[in-house]
Amino acid sequence: MTWLITGGAGYIGAHVARAMAGAGERVVALDDLSAGFAARLPESVPLVAGSAGDPALLRQVFAEHEVTGVVHLAARKQVAESVARPTWYYAENVGGLATLLDAVAEAGIGRFVFSSSAAVYGTPDVDLITEDTPCAPVNPYGETKLAGEWLVRAAGRAHGIATVCLRYFNVAGAAAPELADTGVFNIVPMVFDRLTRDDAPRIFGADYPTPDGTCVRDYIHVADLAEAHLAAARQLNAAGAPGDLTVNIGRGQGVSVRELVTLIGEVTGDTRAPVVEDRRPGDAPRAVASAARAAKELGWSARYGLTDMVESAWRGWRLHHGR
């Protein structure tokens, strides 16, 4: 069978493509290259340049590559941007997904892995977030991911598509420097960017009800995340596999923002003290995954630790930013 990976030339998508192709799966990537780079993909993975919201292109790709499963990662994913442009986010993330699912159903494709997010949970007051923790997103990005899950499950029931929704926690690191995240939207590259510009790192809020007053998060290495996608794809291929599964992808270990910034200082050699600024709206004091269902249903657990994430991300940052 062949898996189509939408957003396959992006930071996460290229890791997924490499992991699946390296494990012997047939893979084709679809990417509009607005944030992705063709050079990230191995030679064995063909790239189709275009939008996952283009029905004619989807029909062509499905037929030419004999696609039998889809891993859908293509989406808009910046929280602040979603607050500023909510209608566009819904159109891109939910409307585009509806177009893709219509094409999947029309082609008779029976397997679908959906890239979701821990943003669907909002700000739950629990030690470990399970898949049964109530969802209450606090921004349009999280809303579009939750609506996307609803849509995926509904389409699965209506058309006999077996589905897995993977709720990512905080993704960091790189399997190779050339695959590193080139954006400055997540906390690790944001700190790197500050240090590169000879500025102190920033911490938003140090008065939370946590051991050191800063937010606690669950960080997952992008290579582990890629292996989770491979596990999900193979689970959908297994005889008797559930047709509708939702799984957290995290390590189940909390790390405070201050602890992370301290580790980044140790790895980079720039140990200047961070500047504490006001809290950001919507930041939960603690957001840590329960990884039990991933282990039980997918046979998957994270292998890499936080130091691996920071060191590999720093190697990628230096490659792309010339430091």
Please say if 208 is a catalytic residue: no
Q: Which of 211, 315, 196 is nearest to 267 (CA)?
A: 315
Encoded amino acid at 156, one letter: G
- Choosing from 11, 89, 121, 141, the catalytic residue is 141
What are 41's two structure tokens?
């993909």
- Give the C-alpha separation, 117 to 287, whole Å: 12
> Do residues 304 and 173 lie in contact, with contact meaning Cβ atoms separated by under 8 Å?
yes
From first CA to last CA, the distance across the chain in angstroms is 42
Q: Is 134 left (phi over 0), alpha (psi -120 to 50) or beta?
A: beta
Q: Is the dihedral of CA 299, 304, 305, 310 positive or negative?
A: negative
Q: Exposed (0-12), middle (13-18) or buried (19+): which is 65, by Cβ within 10 Å? A: middle
What are 75's two structure tokens?
């989406």
Give exposure, 232-260, as e/b (b: 16+ Cβ within 10 Å): bbbbbeeeeeeeebbbbbbbbbbbbbbbb
Residues with a catalytic annotation lie at 141
